[in-house]
């Protein structure tokens, strides 16, 4: 049996505000960067750190949603697939680029970080239309407070109080 999987999952910080563009046929596309860090101790016990920069691209309704809520510095989890491109530059040199084509995301910056109007994510566009891979992203946008169904009363859980 042959298996093939192309799935990327990164959790990091947005390095620049998303830039919205449109293709000649009118489809929206946005791109932005995400930085991920890795820390470890070397053989001498000294802490080492390495930062990787990832190019992310999103299409259609997902692209529009991201430009409305995502800002430089926000923490985000990105789920997508890797896509590589090759081309020849005007000077004749060969260029390569690998990017993550976003299929879904989870915003991880608390409401004070600027998601939606004054942190209220309930004002985000609702799910609808677009490509099949874009629908789950709209589902991930949740209000800052979730009511806990408790038989004892009106207890609420504030997502900002959860330590993870």
What structural domains does the chain harbor?
8-161 (2.40.50.140)
Average pLDDT of the residues of the chain: 78
49 pLDDT above the threshold of 60: yes
State the pLDDT at residue 163. 59
Q: How confident is the model at residue 137 (pLDDT cuts 50, 70, 90)?
A: very low
State the pLDDT at residue 159. 61
144 pLDDT above the threshold of 90: no
Instruction: Tell me the percentage of the chain whose pLDDT exceeds 70.
Output: 66
Residue 103: closest CA among 3, 35, 10 = 10
Out of 34-38, 125-129, 132-136, the most confident range is 34-38
Contact indicator for 69, 103 with CB cutoff of 8 Å = no
State the pLDDT at residue 110. 79
Residue 111: other Cβ atoms inside 10 A: 18
pLDDT digits (tens, 9 = 90+) for 80-107: 999 999 999 999 999 999 999 999 999 9
Q: How confident is the model at residue 2 (pLDDT cuts 50, 70, 90)?
A: confident
pLDDT digits (tens, 9 = 90+) for 145-156: 444 444 444 556
């Amino acid at each position: 049996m042959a298996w093939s999987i192309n799935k990327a999952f990164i959790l990091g910080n947005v390095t620049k505000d998303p830039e919205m563009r449109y293709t000649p046929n009118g489809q929206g596309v946005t791109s932005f960067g995400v930085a991920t860090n890795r820390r470890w101790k070397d053989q001498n016990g000294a802490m080492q750190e390495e930062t990787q920069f990832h190019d992310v691209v999103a299409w259609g309704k997902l692209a529009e949603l991201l430009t409305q809520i995502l800002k430089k510095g926000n923490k985000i989890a990105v789920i997508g697939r890797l896509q590589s491109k090759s081309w020849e530059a005007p000077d004749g040199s060969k260029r390569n680029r690998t990017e993550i084509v976003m299929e879904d995301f989870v915003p991880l910056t608390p409401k004070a970080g600027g998601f939606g109007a004054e942190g209220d994510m309930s004002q985000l566009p609702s799910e609808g239309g677009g490509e099949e891979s874009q629908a789950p992203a709209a589902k991930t946008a949740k209000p800052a407070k979730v009511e806990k169904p408790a038989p004892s009363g009106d207890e609420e859980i504030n997502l900002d109080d959860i330590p993870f």
